[in-house]
Amino acid sequence: MDFSTDLKIGIVGGGQLGKMLIQAAKRMGLYVAVIDPTPDSPAGQIADRQIVSDFYDEESIKQLASSCDITTYEIEHINVEVLKELEQKGYKIYPSPYVLEIIQDKSKQKQMLTDNNIPTAKWQKVDGDLASALTSFGLPAVQKACKGGYDGRGVFVIHNADDIKNSLKCESFLEEQIDFEKELAVMVSRNSQGEIKCYPVVEMIFDTKANICDSTIAPARIDKKVQKQAIDIAVNCVEVLKGVGVFGIEMFVTKDGSVMVNEIAPRPHNSGHYTIEACITSQFEQHLRAIMNLPLGATDLIIPSVMVNILGAEGYEGKPIYEGLEDVLKIPGANVHIYGKKVTKPYRKMGHVTIVDSDIESAIEKGRHIKQVLKVISGGN
């Protein structure tokens, strides 16, 4: 197919993922419009146009889709019904709103995995009384909200009957608490022709206090058998969904070396940020290639890397100040990304640093140092 730079891309969501998508789009000469409720959002700062609107506003989403050739999204919590209606009318929306509908409800996502014999933790929908459900399911158990959870929100671990009083008060399901060895992630891309490309398997390290991804290590320190399992399972997920775009597949590795799916993200993902500096094609360019049905780029890892999230420090809220940034910029191989959010909050993702180094252990040590010296505090107006 011929490629035209007159193509207009619409993105529902104006956060950091949208910003990095636009940075890739601009290298390809594309026009990009975004929707986000925050004026001058990270993506809005560099987009050709920002519609300041809620993610559920029907008219604004219709306006975006009708003014663009292809519409995508960088956040799951959006109005899926209007996107389905637009797709039925012939608008190009990728990944399909019907895929998003499955992903939005984590119980539907779990059911999809179960129906397709894709390994995942044992689970059970909570229909009615939570205490009764726990009696049949067993303890400990992880309670997860069906909708709305992200970055550690919408997850509650129930150790005993006393914990029930603090449980989630929403539609939810119970999941077996997995005694895992590592948490892994794989980015998988697929275009409309069915071409699939898979990125290297990465390790995810979590901040246990905030239950949020703290850093990623690429390549993951796993054996070839586990690596193959993870890649095969990740590809299977995207093939079953017939997804178009880039998908982040989060997984557990158990003590016995088995791999199971935790969650699927139908968009570029935090665990794929390292691809900007460390892979031949970044996850953001790849997502654009996929939704435009262009040939997918090579996903080879050029150099080992560690990605460290820059999170808002506890006890600070307001205009961000990046304390220790000068020290970080002195570190060989450190690539700093500041998202441009106007307000910092505790544990809010304010940026990331990708460290590239031919020695993965050296990159890990540099990452540890960066986490110690770089703090996002606040001050001023």
| Confidence at residue 310, expressed as pLDDT on a 0 to 100 scale | 96
| Confidence at residue 148, expressed as pLDDT on a 0 to 100 scale | 84
pLDDT, tens digit, 9 for 90 and up, residues 7-16: 999 999 999 9
In whole angstroms, what is the distance from residue 313 CA to residue 320 CA?
A: 10
Longest dimension (CA), the chain: 63
Average pLDDT of the residues in 227-239? 98
| Confidence at residue 380, expressed as pLDDT on a 0 to 100 scale | 63
Burial (CB < 10 A; 0-12, 13-18, 19+), residue 141, is buried
| Confidence at residue 344, expressed as pLDDT on a 0 to 100 scale | 97
Whether pLDDT at 2 is above 70: no
CB burial of 10-29 (b: ≥16 within 10 Å; e: otherwise) equals bbbbbbbbbbbbbbbbeeee
Which is nearest to 74 in space by CA: 272, 238, 241? 272
In whole angstroms, what is the distance from residue 50 CA to residue 64 CA?
A: 9
pLDDT, tens digit, 9 for 90 and up, residues 102-158: 999 999 999 999 999 999 999 999 988 899 999 899 999 999 999 987 766 889 999
| Confidence at residue 128, expressed as pLDDT on a 0 to 100 scale | 83
pLDDT, tens digit, 9 for 90 and up, residues 184-224: 999 999 999 999 999 999 999 988 777 788 999 999 999 99
Average pLDDT of the residues in 303-312? 97
Whether pLDDT at 338 is above 90: yes
| Confidence at residue 183, expressed as pLDDT on a 0 to 100 scale | 96
Preceding peptide of 219 cis, ω within 30° = yes
Among positive and negative, which fits the CA dihedral 7, 193, 247, 310? negative
Q: Note whether 51 and 110 are within 8 A (CB).
A: no
Q: Note whether 107 and 154 are within 8 A (CB).
A: no
Query: Concatenated DSSP letters for 72-136?
Result: EES-SSS-HHHHHHHHHTT-EESS-HHHHHHHHSHHHHHHHHHHTT--B--EEE--S-HHHHHHH
> Which superfamily does CATH assign the domain made up of 122-176 to?
ATP-grasp fold, A domain (3.30.1490.20)
pLDDT, tens digit, 9 for 90 and up, residues 73-104: 999 999 999 999 999 999 999 999 999 999 99
CATH T-level assignment (fold) for domain 8-93? Rossmann fold (3.40.50)
| Confidence at residue 213, expressed as pLDDT on a 0 to 100 scale | 87
Average pLDDT of the residues in 41-63? 98
Q: Amino acid letter at 17? A: L
| Confidence at residue 151, expressed as pLDDT on a 0 to 100 scale | 66
Mean of all residue pLDDT scores within the chain: 95
Average pLDDT of the residues in 156-168? 92
In whole angstroms, what is the distance from residue 286 CA to residue 11 CA?
A: 15
- Ordered by start, the domain boundaries in the chain are 8-93, 122-176, 180-378
Q: For domain 180-378, give the CATH number.
A: 3.30.470.20
Query: What's the pTM?
Result: 0.95
Whether pLDDT at 381 is above 70: no
Whether pLDDT at 267 is above 90: yes
| Confidence at residue 211, expressed as pLDDT on a 0 to 100 scale | 75
In whole angstroms, what is the distance from residue 29 CA to residue 35 CA?
A: 20
Distances (CA, A) of 345 to 49, 240, 309, 317, 381: 27, 38, 14, 5, 15
